[in-house]
Structure 1
Amino acid sequence: MTPAARVQAAIEVLDLVIAAARNRGASADRIIAEWLRARRFAGSKDRRAVRDLIYAAIRCCGEVPETGRAAMLRVAQDDPALLALFDGSRHAPAPYAPGEPVAVKGIAPAWLVAALAESGISGDEAAALLERAPLDIRVNSLKADRETLELPIAGLPLLAPQGLRLPYGTQVEQWDAYQDGRIEVQDGGSQLACLIADARPGETVVDLCAGAGGKTLALAAAMDARGRLIACDSDRARLSRLAPRAERAGAGFIETRLLDSGREMAALGDLAGGCDMVLVDAPCSGAGTWRRNPEARWRLTAEELARLAALQARLLDVAAGLVRPGGRLIFITCSLLDAEGADQAGAFLRRNPDWRADTPDFGAGTPRGGGVRLSPGRDGTDGFFIARFKLL
């Protein structure tokens, strides 16, 4: 493919991504993968270049663009060499006509920018949400240790005791250490959230919203694979991916329970009031993970945010009913919006006077509403709100 043909290809894919964002369709990653799969003539350099152009445009445009061409022209406004490729040649985009629509540069849709500002995120800290994310891994202490593990690339140690940071795009899935379970891909902020949970050997621990089990595996390592660790989720497909991961990690003691959304206690009644710790990594907007999933900000609506906040509150109350006196409840969202963080934590404490905030100082993050907030701009991690509560 010529450079101009790559630009035209990116425009065509962007049209599909924009339509999917408006209609709750497939993710950008899936759309790109399927588009490239159908065009086997594109070499590896072409594929990488097209993908980079698409994501540059997604990151550049705050509001949902009218068209893929308008999005790519937004990028080209700051790149004369790219604009020159709009030359009308074979397989190239048509020449730029002064006055034609060009997408508006920005961080996010206006309502989201305002919500972030009200939550104390603006300026450089907001801009950092759209930077390219590094690749963080966690050394699995059930099988290895950060200080002695030899890897093809020496990573930068993170604050999390088993965390390492690698260059963007490192293909760790091909490493022996990944395939035999000595390392897992996990953002440094996510590792710190699990550290705050303070899971201990011999405890009874519930991961209420386990998904595919990334945090569950970190909890298993902290517990030295001793005790009871129950991973729960209402998504059968996601939860089914945990078993092979657990086996690879040497964490076969993990139990799984499929939940019926809205009727969680039907599957958890035997655990009521008996758990040492319950972790609620709640479904959220993902407004702290735009570095990895930038088109998510085009999909979020105020109505969806309100629905997620209501779900988080309900799950917190479900989790509270599982904890024994003196036990811990950990609330995590990968969001920087107070509606999914400080406001949620405050409302929980008002509803439950027998609980108190117990979030420790762990050397990172900014205190926020009874918890702590990690952000890409300040901490170099994905954005998280983390709160630990203790039942009196």
Structure 2
Amino acid sequence: MTPAARTQAAIDILDEVIAAARGGGAAADVLVARYFATRRYAGSKDRRAVRDLVYAAIRRAGEVPVTGRAALVGLARDDDGVAATFDGSAHGPAAIEHDEAAAVAGAVPDWLSRALSASGLAVADQAALVARAPLDIRINRLRADPAALATELGGEPIAGLPDALRLPTGTNVEPLAGLVEVQDAGSQIVTLAACAKPGQHIVDLCAGGGGKTLALAAAMDNRGTLLATDIDRPRLSRLPPRAARAGVTIVEPRLLDGGREAAALADWQGHADTVLIDAPCSGTGTWRRNPEARWRLTPARLERFTTQQRHVLALGAPLVRPGGALVYIVCSLLDAEGAEQIDRFLADRPGWTAEPLTLPAGRPRGEGIRLDPAHDGTDGFFVARLARPC
């Protein structure tokens, strides 16, 4: 593919990404993969170059661009090399008109910028939300010696996380499946709030594919009981093979029926030492990996997330034994999903208290701790640990 043809391919893909963002369609990485699945002539360098153009344009435009061409024209305004590819050649885009509309540069949509600012995240720090994310891994101490594997792999150690490494972007970790898990340092840090120990009885209430479940199992030294639940069958189905590769045998996956979760969890009422809730959320802390997600979020969708969060908190609280703890996590930087949810929870449940947390990164926010890309170099998270009265 010529440079011009690569730019036109990026424009075509961006048209699909924009339509998907407006209509709730597939994610950008899926659309990129689909595009090249029917274009076998494109080599690996072509695919990489086109993907880089697509994501550069997505990261640059805070508001949803009108078209894919407008997104790339905006990128061309900042990059003479990209501008030169608008040459009107047979497979390339037409030349840019002098007064042609271009996507406006920005970190996030205006309404979200205001909401983040109101939640204590300065405008100057919001650009970090869409910067490129590093490659962090957690070494699985059930199957590998962290020190030995760290020496073998190289990479950078991450302060406060003896099982973590930051590897060069693009490192192929697939041959290490089971020995390591790809997991952002922030995700590893907030999981520490569970204070998981061998022999405990723990519930991972919104387990999904099991990233935090497997981290909990390693902290428990594969001893105790670990119930992993979710209402999403496809996501939860990924946990058993991952657990098998990781040598984890204490996990019981349990698929819940939405709206009937309490009945399915009756055998755990008042039994768990810790209930970890990695709640469904806006994902404002994970835009480094999914930058087009900020185009999908609306005030109405945010309200649905906060309603779901109140639901899972109400579902998890009765599972905690007297004297036990509930750990609430969201990969969001909005107070509506973090500090304000905890304030509401404590106001509605006399006797419950927020326990102080000491974590390797993050800063106090309300009754919890918040991590963000600008200050901590991790994905964004809010975490709080709540103790049930004895």
TM-score in terms of structure 2 length: 0.98
**Which residue in 2 is equivalent to 1:164?**
165
**Which residue in 2 is equivalent to 1:113?**
113
**Which residue in 2 is equivalent to 1:61?**
61
RMSD, aligned α-carbons: 1.0
Q: CA deviation at 1:150?
A: 5.2
Q: Equivalents in 2 of 1:122, 1:76: separation in Å? A: 28
Q: CA deviation at 1:153?
A: 3.3
Structure 1 unmatched ranges of 5 or more: none
Helix, strand or coil: the match of 2:47? helix
Q: Equivalents in 1 of 2:339, 2:115: separation in Å? A: 13
**Which residue in 2 is equivalent to 1:154?**
154
TM-score in terms of structure 1 length: 0.97
**Which residue in 1 is equivalent to 2:291?**
294
Q: CA deviation at 1:232?
A: 0.1
Q: CA deviation at 1:263?
A: 1.6
Q: Contact (CA 8 Å) 1:206, 1:277: kept in 2 or not?
A: yes
**Which residue in 2 is equivalent to 1:194?**
191
**Which residue in 1 is equivalent to 2:39?**
39
**Ranges of 4+ aligned residues in structure 1 off by more than 2 Å:** 150-153
Q: Equivalents in 1 of 2:354, 2:313: separation in Å? A: 14
**Residue by residue, what CA displacement relative to the aligned partner does 1:261-317 show, whole Å, maximum 9, x if unpaired?**
222111100100111000000000000000000000000100010110011011111
Is 2:183 aligned against 1:182? Answer: no
Q: CA deviation at 1:200?
A: 1.0
Q: CA deviation at 1:126?
A: 0.6
**Which residue in 2 is equivalent to 1:96?**
96
**Residue by residue, what CA displacement relative to the aligned partner does 1:223-244 show, whole Å, maximum 9, x if unpaired?**
1111110000001111111000
**Which residue in 2 is equivalent to 1:306?**
303
Is 2:269 aligned against 1:268? Answer: no
Q: Equivalents in 2 of 1:235, 1:47: separation in Å? A: 32
Moved more, 253-262 or 292-301: 253-262
**Which residue in 2 is equivalent to 1:372?**
369
Task: Report matched runs for 1:9-28 at 5 Å.
Answer: 9-28=9-28
Q: Equivalents in 1 of 2:367, 2:81: separation in Å? A: 49
| Alignment: residue pair count | 388
Which residue of the other structure, out of 340, 356, 359, is the alignment partner of 2:356? Answer: 359
**Which residue in 2 is equivalent to 1:78?**
78
Counterpart code for 1:344: Q
Helix, strand or coil: the match of 1:245? helix
Q: CA deviation at 1:352?
A: 1.0
Q: Equivalents in 1 of 2:313, 2:371: separation in Å? A: 21
Q: CA deviation at 1:33?
A: 0.2
Counterpart code for 1:161: P
Q: CA deviation at 1:187?
A: 0.6
Q: Contact (CA 8 Å) 2:58, 2:291: kept in 1 or not?
A: yes
Moved more, 141-150 or 276-285: 141-150
Q: Equivalents in 1 of 2:250, 2:58: separation in Å? A: 42
Q: Contact (CA 8 Å) 2:368, 2:383: kept in 1 or not?
A: yes
Q: CA deviation at 1:145?
A: 2.7
Task: Report matched runs for 1:221-370 at 5 Å.
Answer: 221-370=218-367
Q: Equivalents in 2 of 1:353, 1:157: separation in Å? A: 42
Q: Equivalents in 2 of 1:288, 1:82: separation in Å? A: 29
Q: Equivalents in 1 of 2:7, 2:171: separation in Å? A: 25
**Which residue in 2 is equivalent to 1:8?**
8
Q: Equivalents in 2 of 1:104, 1:262: separation in Å? A: 43
Counterpart code for 2:301: E
**Residue by residue, what CA displacement relative to the aligned partner does 1:185-208 show, whole Å, maximum 9, x if unpaired?**
111011011111111111110000
Helix, strand or coil: the match of 2:336? helix
